[in-house]
Chains A and B, each alone.
Chain A
């Protein structure tokens, strides 16, 4: 026995490096890396809600968002506005730039209330594979100001500059489940420096949205904001949108139906006055084009 065993081992060791085993040897050496989960969402926003995605470093994201008028007659739509297509409730033209792979800055002009918008988004934590973080977390900040003429709009009390400002702060929690489904939950705080006497300066709300990939380049997307604060006087509603997202190299095109009243967080969270029940649904689209302009 004592002599047979070593002989056996000798044979094993010689045969151990057959062709396939070389590959197995390599595979056993390769420790699974914690890789960041990619493509949780295909852009900065789903429809209205922010995602955990930032603009890649050195990339400029040119975004045009358009919100048509209400489709149904009960809410002022119908055939004479060609189901809202003759109206444009809101237009947002924005440039987002990836300062680093984690920090994005952006500027936009928004039609409603002659608004200028500045945004910041910072990727705090990335979801990773192989036992890494189960969540992606990002922080989002928005500040808006209006350039409306104070004298022409005395009802808005715009004589002081502070009164023109409004802010939104969000914590974005996102997770991709498998390769097709991503979910985002966004606790959100909107602060408006001046509001109508019956409204609150601070609004707390929680938003949620998902992306369900249905083909290789398209997905069903939806988002919703629920206002927690007792801000929802009669006549204000929770914005909900559902749409279709198509992605081609460098472009993301989203077309959706939503009742939201605007395109900026500071606007559609507090100011949505149309509801799905009353036919206050609008067609909306967003086009995003990414340009790589620096390394």
Chain B
């Protein structure tokens, strides 16, 4: 900011050698003032125009409009209307089964991406104590509240067309603070415009660092059978 030079004592000093500089800076300052005054004295109409160009609301509207136009309203994104997940473990002493009715899922048939999220606390057991142990000791659901899956469907599907699609999906399953790459099979069925997905696959509890105390060893098998059923509807924001 060369303009400040005018305020320095040297600039006001009597030395003639410096006077030329003073004049220069003075000119610069005045020209700057000039520009600012122009801005400040902008005619009202044009000022409003400047403001409108950077109206955030408008930008957001535009953004949302485009979002919905491209990604949501074309019917290629589907979300779970209802979803259940269960796991089953056969054991000599006691079979263990947990069922959750709050599976959330989203699938984009254009990008072939698919994702699931299941709250660990939503799993219900026949025995209350089993449920408490499942949450407290095995899944530590206060620390790791959700199980998630995020992956790609390897085949083409069109959920807008009736039919049965045998698919596989490869992606990451995460729970209990651990992640694992898996490929699972699934069947999409579209009947009378209603799309459902069924999938069954085994999971090894050791892959997710779910430790089973030795005392209870007979209670729980090393591998549990997981079942997920979801019915999809077109996604609306």
B137 within 8 A of A: yes
Q: Count chain B CB atoms within 10 A of each CB in A5, A16, A17 and give the residue with the most.
A: A17
Tell me whether B148 is interfacial, beta carbon within 8 Å.
yes
B66 interface residue, CB < 8 Å from A?
A: yes
Given contacts A16-B67, A19-B171, contact A26 B129 (CB under 8 A): no
**Those of B109-139 within 8 Å (CB) of chain A:** 110-111, 113-117, 119, 121, 126-130, 132-133, 135-137
**A179 touching B115 by the CB < 8 A rule?**
no
- Interface flags, A17-34, vs B, CB<8A=1, else 0: 111101101110110010
How many residues belonging to A are interface residues under a CB distance threshold of 8 Å?
35
Which chain A residue has the least Cβ–Cβ distance from B117?
A: A26
In the assembled complex, the Cα of A216 lies from the Cα of B213 at a distance in Å of 9
B135 contacts A38, C-beta separation under 8 Å: yes
Q: Is the CB of A30 within 8 A of B119?
A: yes
Which of A22, A35, A290 is close to B106, meaning CB atoms less than 8 Å apart?
A: A22
- Chain B: residues with Cβ within 8 Å of the partner, total of 47
* B132 pairs with A26, CB closer than 8 A: no
Which residues of A246-275 have CB atoms within 8 Å of chain B's CB atoms?
Answer: 248-250
Known: A16-B67, A23-B148, A30-B104. A38 touches B132 (CB 8 A): yes
Contact of A19 among B115, B119, B121 (CB under 8 A): B115
Pair A30/B117 contact, Cβ less than 8 Å? yes
Q: Give the distance to chain B from A14, nearest Cβ to Cβ, in Å.
A: 6
Known A13-B67, A19-B171, A290-B129; contact A25-B106, beta-carbon cutoff 8 A:
yes
Query: In the complex the two chains form, is A13's CB within 8 Å of B70's CB?
Result: yes
Cβ contact of B108, chosen from A22, A35, A56, A249, cutoff 8 A = A22
Set A13, A19, A59, A216: member contacting B137, Cβ < 8 A:
A216
**Of B70, B111, B129, B140, which contacts A250 at CB under 8 A?**
B129
Cα A14 to Cα B136 with chains together (Å): 41
Q: In the complex the two chains form, is B117's CB within 8 Å of A27's CB?
A: yes
B62 at the binding interface (Cβ < 8 Å): yes
CB neighbours (8 Å) of B66 from chain A are 6, 9-10, 12-13
Say whether A17 contacts B62, CB under 8 Å: no
Question: Is A56 a contact of B117 with CB atoms below 8 Å?
Answer: no
Contact B219 A249 (CB under 8 A): yes
SS of B interface (majority): mixed
A45 lies within 8 A of chain B by Cβ: no
| A39 and B136 contact, Cβ closer than 8 Å, known pairs A26-B115, A30-B104, A249-B216 | yes
Q: Is the CB of A33 within 8 A of B121?
A: yes
Query: Shortest distance in angstroms between A124's beta carbon and chain B's nearest beta carbon?
Result: 19
Q: Which of A22, A26, A29, A35 has the most CB of B within 10 A?
A: A22
Q: Are A26 and B136 in contact (CB under 8 A)?
A: no
The answer to whether B115 touches A22, judged by C-beta atoms less than 8 angstroms apart, is yes
Q: Which of B59-109 touch A at CB < 8 Å? A: 59, 62-63, 66-67, 69-71, 77, 104-108
Cα A179 to Cα B137 in complex, Å, equals 10
Given contacts A13-B70, A27-B117, A216-B137, contact A6 B62 (CB under 8 A): yes
Q: Is B142 close to A, CB under 8 A?
A: yes
Q: Which residues on the A side are within 8 Å of B213 (C-beta)?
A: 216-217, 248
List of B residues within 8 angstroms of A18 by Cβ: 111, 113
A9-B66, A35-B121, A56-B129 are contacts. A16–B71 as well, Cβ < 8 Å? yes
Contacts of A29 in B (CB 8 A): 104
What chain B residues lie within 8 Å of A292 (beta carbons)? Answer: 126-128
B150 at the A/B interface (Cβ < 8 Å)?
Answer: yes
Q: Is B7 an interface residue (CB 8 A)?
A: no
- Count chain A CB atoms within 10 A of each CB in B77, B129, B148 and give the residue with the most: B129
Contacts of B219 in A (CB 8 A): 249
- Are A179 and B128 closer than 8 Å at their CB atoms? no
- Are the CB atoms of B121 and A17 closer together than 8 Å? no
Q: How far is the CA of A100 from the CA of B120 in the complex (A)?
A: 24
B186 at the A interface (CB under 8 A)? no
What chain B residues lie within 8 Å of A13 (beta carbons)?
Answer: 63, 66-67, 69-71
Nearest CB of A to B59, in Å:
8
Provide the residues of chain A in CB contact with B135, threshold 8 Å: 38-39
Listed by A's residue number, 5 A-B pairs whose Cβ atoms lie within 8 Å are: A13-B70, A16-B67, A19-B113, A179-B143, A249-B219
